[in-house]
């Protein structure tokens, strides 16, 4: 049992951001069992029989918030984060992405990179990640093992692609299906409580209709989440629709493949028509908004307000390495900036996203988009305790607060100026995981960093 006392910040909905001062929150067996604002901490501690070594009193400049959720990240592309941003999507995939992903047939290489991406995202406060791995079953399973061992909540997608891909990085349809089924069965049989497989057709250009239809059957047979990309870039949209005869638009391709479900998340959705949004809403399919990627490989600017007003659930994604940063704080800032820019050409009443909106999207909104909102996303009794202790006065960095600043302004400052140095503790399912992840990164940085070419 662990007791936390101090300022708690979480969202109950996009319109209901709560600041709860002097709050006691008790966690037992990974779950939240008690939460009370303006509580008498000593009294509650005694009543619940919590020993003093299990009491965490937050300091003046600290607050507790739900862990952040990255609804779309490519784990193997972590190697490429920060370069190769000179080409738009289709050229970028061929020149930078496929060659890198092909290296993950090598388990030693996969182990090096996957260990770092999981540790790095945890250190940056990502308590849940929806990962794309590569087409390689064994290294995708390894990513699951690493997420489990490091303590991150994760969905792992073994990527499927059987057409329009280079001959060094493509699957035969039959072996693609066999490998996905074996991957799902193998990962599920490990019984990791917080790591699940996700069916992952790469996107409509690299997947045949027949492959996508079988993938949808597998998702339903094993009751797993589905992830793919949609409507990211104008050239991609045109090619996708031209490849799938008889499909009205991009969303219709996935509708005909029966991939649209309440457990499906589609990355991007920059160019979706009203009709397509209506269809996604009918299927309760959600969107991962990846604004850094959309800017960095110049795909376009997604009007998230519009998607939300059509009733879609929208989470945030880093989309490493189309997006150059693995931090959800960065995704929050990009989401605000893109929305501000879009607002310049909208009527005056258009409301760009603000720090409250993106805080929601990074926490409860992400949980809703992944269908995890009964488990995580905010602090409610019975939910699992995925949380961050944020320190607004780290010894270095650009973040500075003053004693008389409001709670709202403090949160806004953290969202705009914070980084991993201001995230002092990270909990997943009640277990503290930041220190282990930081040590992994530090040891790897100081010690065994090897040339990429020597790892493969
Ligand atoms: O941003 C993206 N990253 C990818 O790896 C990818 N594959 C298909 N479509 C994609 N979009
Ligand atoms: Zn992506």
- CATH number of the domain within which 415 lies: 2.30.40.10
The pLDDT confidence band at residue 448, using thresholds 50, 70 and 90, is low
User: Does 153 sit in the ligand 1 pocket, CB within 6 Å?
Assistant: no
Residue 451 inside a domain? The answer is no
List pLDDT tens digits, range 157-189.
999 999 999 999 999 999 999 999 999 999 999
The pLDDT confidence band at residue 145, using thresholds 50, 70 and 90, is very high
* Co-location of 121 and 234 in the same domain: yes
List pLDDT tens digits, range 93-123.
999 999 999 999 999 999 999 999 999 999 9
Q: Is the dihedral of CA 259, 265, 271, 272 positive or negative?
A: positive
* Co-location of 286 and 400 in the same domain: no
User: Does 227 sit in the ligand 1 pocket, CB within 6 Å?
Assistant: no
**Domain termination site, one of 322, 342, 369:** 369
Residue 324 inside a domain? The answer is yes
User: Does 319 sit in the ligand 1 pocket, CB within 6 Å?
Assistant: yes
* Co-location of 255 and 350 in the same domain: yes
Least confident stretch, 47-56, 407-416, 443-452: 443-452
d(CA 76, CA 114): 7
d(CA 265, CA 130): 10
* Co-location of 22 and 155 in the same domain: no
Residue 448 inside a domain? The answer is no
* Co-location of 323 and 398 in the same domain: no
Share of the chain above pLDDT 90, in %: 96
- Report the SS3 class of residue 279: helix
User: Of the ligands numbered here, which is closest to the C-alpha atom of 317?
Assistant: 2
Q: What is the mean pLDDT of residues 63-74?
A: 99
**Domain termination site, one of 369, 388, 418:** 369
* Co-location of 269 and 384 in the same domain: no
Residue 453 inside a domain? The answer is no
pLDDT number for residue 446: 63
- Provide φ and ψ at 66, rounded to 5°: -65, 150
Domain count of the fold of the chain: 2
* Co-location of 220 and 125 in the same domain: yes
Residue 456 has pLDDT above 90, yes or no: no
Task: Judge whether 391 and 425 are in contact, CB under 8 Å.
Answer: no
- Provide φ and ψ at 25, rounded to 5°: -130, 125
Residue 190 inside a domain? The answer is yes
**Residue pointed to by tokens 């799938």:** 244
List pLDDT tens digits, range 417-446.
999 999 999 999 999 999 999 999 987 666
Residue 345 has pLDDT above 70, yes or no: yes
* DSSP at 106: S
- Provide φ and ψ at 393, rounded to 5°: -130, 60
Q: Which residues surround ligand 2, an ion (CB under 5 A)?
A: 267, 319
* Co-location of 251 and 200 in the same domain: yes
Residue 158 inside a domain? The answer is yes
- CATH number of the domain within which 329 lies: 3.20.20.140
What is the span of the domain harbouring residue 128? 68-369
- Do the interacting molecules here have an ipTM over 0.95? yes
Ligand 1, atom 10, residue with closest C-alpha: 229
User: Does 229 sit in the ligand 1 pocket, CB within 6 Å?
Assistant: yes
User: Does 232 sit in the ligand 1 pocket, CB within 6 Å?
Assistant: yes
Q: What is the mean pLDDT of residues 46-73?
A: 98
* Co-location of 182 and 318 in the same domain: yes
* Co-location of 24 and 74 in the same domain: no
List pLDDT tens digits, range 9-32.
999 999 999 999 999 999 999 999
Residue 38 has pLDDT above 70, yes or no: yes
Task: Give 331-371 as a DSSP string.
Answer: HHHHHHHHHHHHHTTS-TT-----HHHHHHIIIIIHHHHTT
CA 285–ligand 1 middle distance (angstroms) = 19
Residue 449 inside a domain? The answer is no
d(CA 146, CA 139): 10
């Amino acid at each position: 049992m662990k007791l936390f006392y101090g300022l708690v910040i979480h969202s109950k909905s996009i319109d209901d951001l709560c600041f709860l001062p002097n709050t006691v929150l008790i966690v037992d067996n990974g779950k939240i069992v008690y939460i009370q604002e303006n509580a008498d901490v000593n009294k509650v501690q005694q009543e619940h029989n919590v020993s003093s070594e299990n009491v965490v009193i937050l300091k003046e400049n600290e607050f507790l918030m739900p862990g952040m959720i990255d609804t779309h990240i490519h784990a193997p592309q972590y190697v490429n984060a920060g370069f190769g941003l000179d080409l738009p999507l289709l050229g970028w995939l061929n020149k930078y992405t496929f060659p890198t992903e092909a290296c993950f047939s090598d388990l030693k290489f996969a182990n090096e990179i996957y260990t770092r991406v999981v540790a790095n995202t945890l250190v940056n406060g990502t308590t849940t990640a929806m990962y794309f791995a590569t087409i390689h079953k064994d290294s995708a399973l390894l990513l699951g093992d690493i997420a489990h061992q490091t303590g991150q909540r994760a969905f792992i997608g073994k990527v499927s692609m059987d057409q329009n891909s280079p001959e060094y990085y493509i699957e035969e349809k039959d072996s693609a299906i066999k490998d996905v089924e074996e991957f799902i069965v193998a990962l599920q049989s490990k019984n990791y409580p917080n790591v699940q497989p996700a069916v992952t057709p790469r996107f409509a250009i690299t997947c045949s209709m027949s492959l996508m239809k079988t993938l949808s059957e597998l998702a339903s047979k094993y009751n797993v989440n589905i992830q793919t990309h949609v409507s990211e870039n104008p050239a991609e949209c045109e090619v996708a629709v031209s490849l799938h005869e008889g499909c009205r638009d991009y969303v219709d391709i996935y509708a005909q493949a029966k991939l649209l479900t309440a457990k499906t998340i589609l990355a991007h959705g920059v160019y979706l028509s009203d009709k397509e949004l209506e269809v996604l809403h009918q299927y309760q399919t959600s969107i991962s908004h990846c604004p850094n990627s959309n800017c960095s490989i110049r795909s376009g600017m997604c009007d998230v307000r519009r998607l939300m007003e059509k009733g879609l659930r929208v989470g945030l994604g880093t989309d490493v390495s189309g997006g150059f940063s693995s931090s959800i704080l960065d995704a929050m800032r990009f989401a605000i900036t893109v929305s501000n820019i879009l607002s310049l050409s909208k009527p005056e009443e258009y409301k760009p996203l603000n720090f409250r909106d993106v805080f929601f999207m990074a926490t409860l909104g992400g949980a809703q988009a992944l269908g995890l909102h009964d488990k995580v996303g905010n602090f409610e009794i019975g939910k699992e305790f995925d949380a961050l202790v944020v320190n607004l006065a780290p010894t270095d960095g650009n973040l500075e607060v003053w004693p008389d600043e409001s709670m709202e302004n403090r949160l806004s400052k953290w969202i705009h100026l914070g980084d991993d140095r201001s995230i002092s503790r990270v909990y997943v399912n009640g277990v503290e995981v930041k220190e282990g992840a930081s040590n992994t990164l530090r040891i790897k940085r100081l010690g065994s960093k090897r040339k990429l070419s020597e790892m493969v």
